[in-house]
Amino acid sequence: MEKLPAAAAAAGDQQRIALPAALARSYNASRVRTIVHFLRELRNTGAVAPSSRHLVAAAVSQLKSHVSAHPERPLKILELGPGTGVFTKEIIAAMRPQDRLDVVELSERFFSIVHSRFHGGNVRVFHMDVLQYEGAGGYDFIFSSIPYEALPAEISTAIWRKKQALARADAHIIYYKYVNPTPFRSSYEREMVRRHLVGRRIIWRNMPPARLFTLRLDRFNLPATSRTALAQMA
């Protein structure tokens, strides 16, 4: 297995994704063991340093602009893989009393941190796998800090389909990836970005530098393989 740069690997288990039972059943036993081992070792192959304030501010700016432009409309917001809550804090700061934030974190350690700091009122923090999350759906904004390039393409694709199933027809999906020569391991993610990208920029004042993506969904312009998946998830 190819290791990520040492600066990233040394940061520890900031983000981890586990293989859900439903997905595991679709693979033979050897394949399942390989993927589970890979995901357990993600802290050594896909770890990240805490996001800089510059990255966080850039990511949350679209939410702030939307709130200013549509002050009367309540928003439903979803955050996946919050880590220690750097993004969570700024998302909450941009929210109004009528808005709601749901946060999903797999790591027990990070869940405990984020839950103790933010859970309550219009903020709910869930300790579970992203692919097993069955939220109410209809989210206007989905923020994600999941390390897609450290995941097998099939897991990345499953997460993207899950996000689509949970999103409104015109939802914003905002996420970042560390700058690297091959930014998309999953062809499905590449196609999603091609179809729905409305903003992309590199945040150099982050360690390591990050490429920030903002997508705005259009359910009538999805990759063909997604339409059946969305219907099954609905």
Which CATH number goes with the domain that contains 70?
A: 3.40.50.150
Q: Is residue 124 part of a domain?
A: yes
Q: Is residue 197 part of a domain?
A: yes
Contact 192, 180 (CB under 8 A): no
Q: Is residue 15 part of a domain?
A: no
Domain span holding position 198:
48-233
- Name the helix (H) or strand (E) containing 128: none
- The residue among 73, 81, 18 whose CA lies nearest residue 48 is 81
Spatial distance between the Cα atoms of 174 and 214, rounded to a whole number of angstroms: 5
Contact 124, 139 (CB under 8 A): no
Burial class of residue 147 (count of CB atoms within 10 Å of its CB; 0-12, 13-18, 19+)? buried
Q: Is residue 56 part of a domain?
A: yes
Task: Look at residue 38 and tell me whether its pLDDT is greater than 50.
Answer: no
Q: Is residue 6 part of a domain?
A: no
Query: 228 or 90, which is more confident?
Result: 90
Q: Is residue 28 part of a domain?
A: no
Model pLDDT, residue 49: 66
Tell me whether the omega of the peptide bond preceding residue 208 falls within 30 degrees of 0, making it cis: yes
Contact 216, 195 (CB under 8 A): no
Task: Look at residue 30 and tell me whether its pLDDT is greater than 70.
Answer: no
Task: Look at residue 159 and tell me whether its pLDDT is greater than 80.
Answer: yes
Tens digits of residue pLDDT in 92-109: 999 999 999 999 999 999
Tens digits of residue pLDDT in 49-75: 678 999 999 999 999 999 999 998 999
Average pLDDT, the chain: 80
- The band of 136, judged by pLDDT with boundaries at 50, 70 and 90, is confident
Spatial distance between the Cα atoms of 44 and 10, rounded to a whole number of angstroms: 7
Q: Is residue 158 part of a domain?
A: yes
Q: How many domains does the chain have?
A: 1
- Cβ contacts of 218 within 8 Å, gap of 6 or more: 169, 170, 195, 196
Q: Is residue 164 part of a domain?
A: yes
Q: Apex CA 188: angle with CA 221 and CA 54, to 5°?
A: 90
